[in-house]
Amino acid sequence: MAETSAISEDFLRQLTAVGEVDILVGVPTFNNRDTIERVLSAVQVGLTKYFHRERCVLINPDGGSTDGTPDIFKNASVEDFGMLLTSNPLRTFHRVSAPYHGIPGKETALRTLFTAADLLRAKACAIFSPDSLSITPEWVDSLIRPVYREEYDFVAPVYQRQKFDGLLARGLISPVVASLYGRRVHEPVGSELGLSGRLACHFLESNVWEEDLTTFGLEIWMTTTAIVNQFRLGESFLGPKIHAAKQFGQDVAGTVRQVVGALFRCLDLHQDFWKRREGASEALPLFGFEYKVALEPLRIGKKGVLDTFRSQVEQLVPILESILTPQTLLHLRNVAQLADRDFHYPDELWVKTIYEFAAAHHRSVINRDHLLQALPPLYRGWVGSFILENQKTDAARMDQRIEALGQEFDRWKSYLTDRWEAGTGGER
């Protein structure tokens, strides 16, 4: 049922013509006119350069763009990059355009891609975000080679980050995944990834598609599902990740809500796994040549951030009361009382906040969406504190700092397990 509904007849026809492939690359788009061309050329040059012998297909699931993105896709051709290549590709290069209807979202796009991977019996797949400004042809190699040649099933990206970039991923998602699932994935919400055909089929067969996992949720779900089902995970260094301008306008609260919500859902789904799992977390094997370039620091306005945090915590007290334990709430309120110069949101409190939120989410103490909405103000407070604390920290020390935070998450794992059971125990 899943296969037929995700695929239009025209798409199927195109797939039939493509036949069996070795490598499938997907670039899901939705109104990405400004950036898609760059991404497509990088991907095509990468495939030609590194996989010129393999049978490759490039698929573009488009969520009904109105700005001509699909046309750009259709008209781009490898021959345009003759200057970049020492030779022509040996094989026909397939480009398949797959418009889908309905709500534009990663869910349908990925499902389309996985279905294609299944039908075409692709050995390795890679997915690229249509708005990476810093993409290079080497990314194609970095994500696909471990899968295609080394038999890895899942290759997460490692980006070089500006030190305060991506704090939600680095200060919350990644450490929680590491502590509970036991694998240190740097970018569990990365927008690029490589995966094996058999993992794609595994994803396709799961029933997650009926659930409502949003844009960012799928990546977390894929990462954690791959871990839980004992697939081989690796990481590849890609270089700096520069977001397209469009992402800047994105609403932080909404993103936090979606991502953390998805993480909590996964914790629910996989509770049997992570509750039983023991021992320290392992790093993933890292592929790719690591290099550093100087990144332009992000401009951060701190004015008013702390004041906002203070007032928001006070106003949210009635809601936080039902989510957090009295001790944690008290601690939090004390932190909110601190003067600007002393302001510090301790790691332990941050970890407990997250774990208590997770447990409360599991037990549905209040409406789950309300629960998630109460988190962004606290996230902002933590970010504010983190930035104040690390203003002068250099990049190397920053890694250590993040690692220390991760250890804190490890240390309190049993705390989460206790809180998790607390709710279900009270019933009897």
Partner 1 sequence: MAGDGLWYKDAVIYELHVRGFYDSDGNGAGEFRGLTLKLDYLSDLGVNALWLLPFYPSPLRDDGYDISDYTNIHPAYGTLDDFRMFLDESHRRGIRVITELVLNHTSDQHPWFQQARSSRENPRRDWYVWSDSVERYKQARIIFTDTELSNWAWDPVSKSYYWHRFFSHQPDLNFDNPAVREAAWEVMKFWFEMGVDGLRLDAVPYLVEREGTSCENLPETHDVLKYLRRRADETFSEKMFLAEANQWPRDVRQYFGDGDECHMAFHFPLMPRMFMAIRLEDRKPIVDIFQQTPEIPATCQWGIFLRNHDELTLEMVTDEERDYMYDEFARDTRAKLNLGIRRRLAPLMEGDRRRVELMNGLLMSMPGTPILYYGDEIGMGDNIYLGDRNGVRTPMQWNGGWNAGFSNADPEQLYSPIISNPVYGYQAVNVESQRRYDHSLLSWTKRLIRLRKSSRVFSRGTMEILKPQNHRVLAYIREFGNERVLVVSNLSSQAQAAELDLKRWKGSIPIEMFGGNLFPPIGDLPYLLTLGPYQFYWFRLRRL
Partner 2 sequence: MKNLVLQSLNQTLGRFYSMLEQFLPHLLAMLIIVLAGWLVAIILKIIARRLFALARVNVLSEGSGITQILKKADLPPPLDLLTRLVFWVVWIAFILVGLDTLGIPELHLQISRLFLFLPQIFVALIVLFIGLLAANFFSRAALLAAVNANLPSARLVSGFVRFIIVLLTIAMALEQLALAQRTVLITFTIAFGAIMLSLAIAFGIGGRVVAQQMLERVFPSGEAQKQREEKEKAEEIPPL
- Residues within the interface to partner 2 (CB under 8 A): 164-169, 189, 191, 216, 243, 247-248, 250, 252-253, 255-256, 259, 298-305, 308, 311-312, 315-316, 318-319, 322, 363-367, 370, 373-374, 376-377, 379, 383, 387, 423, 426-428
Map the footprint of partner 1 across residues 14-73, applying CB under 8 A.
Answer: 14, 16-20, 52-53, 55
When CB distances are held under 5 to 8 angstroms depending on the partner's kind, the choice from partner 1, partner 2, none that residue 406 binds is none
87 binds partner 1 (CB under 8 A): yes
Q: How many residues bind partner 1 (CB under 8 A)?
A: 18
Q: Least separation, in Å, of the C-beta of 332 and partner 2? A: 14
367 binds partner 1 (CB under 8 A): no
95 binds partner 1 (CB under 8 A): no
Residues 6+ apart with CB under 8 A from 367: none
For 4-47, the three-class secondary structure string (H helix, E strand, C coil) is: HHCCCHHHHHHHHHHCCCCEEEECCECCCHHHHHHHHHHHHHHH
CB closer to partner 1 out of 52 and 363: 52
Q: Of the listed pieces 81-89, 207-215, 314-322, 420-428, which binds partner 1 according to CB under 8 A?
A: 81-89
When CB distances are held under 5 to 8 angstroms depending on the partner's kind, the choice from partner 1, partner 2, none that residue 53 binds is partner 1
Q: Least separation, in Å, of the C-beta of 169 and partner 2? A: 5
121 binds partner 1 (CB under 8 A): no
Nearest alpha-carbon partner for 311 in 387, 377, 375, 376: 377
88 binds partner 1 (CB under 8 A): yes
When CB distances are held under 5 to 8 angstroms depending on the partner's kind, the choice from partner 1, partner 2, none that residue 207 binds is none
CB closer to partner 1 out of 88 and 424: 88
The total of other beta-carbon atoms located within 10 Å of residue 66's CB is: 8
When CB distances are held under 5 to 8 angstroms depending on the partner's kind, the choice from partner 1, partner 2, none that residue 270 binds is none
Q: Which of the 8 DSSP states describes residue 132?
A: B
Q: Output 397-405 pairs: Cβ under 8 A, ≥24 positions apart.
A: 398/163, 402/170, 402/171, 402/175, 404/347, 405/171, 405/175, 405/347, 405/350, 405/351
Bridge-based pairing of strands 193-196 and 154-160 is: antiparallel
CA gyration radius for the chain?
22
Q: How far is CA 157 from the centre of its chain?
A: 9
> Which residue in 35, 45, 65, 94 binds partner 1 (CB under 8 A)?
94
Alpha carbon distance 65, 59 (integer Å): 15
Query: Helices (H), strands (E): how many in the chain?
Result: 20, 10
Place of tokens 């994500």: 143
CB closer to partner 1 out of 66 and 87: 87
Burial of 325: CB neighbours in 10 Å, binned 0-12, 13-18, 19+: middle
298 binds partner 1 (CB under 8 A): no
Alpha carbon distance 369, 375 (integer Å): 10
90 binds partner 1 (CB under 8 A): yes
12 binds partner 1 (CB under 8 A): no
Residues in the chain: 428
Which residues contribute to the site for partner 1 (CB under 8 A)? 13-14, 16-20, 52-53, 55, 86-92, 94
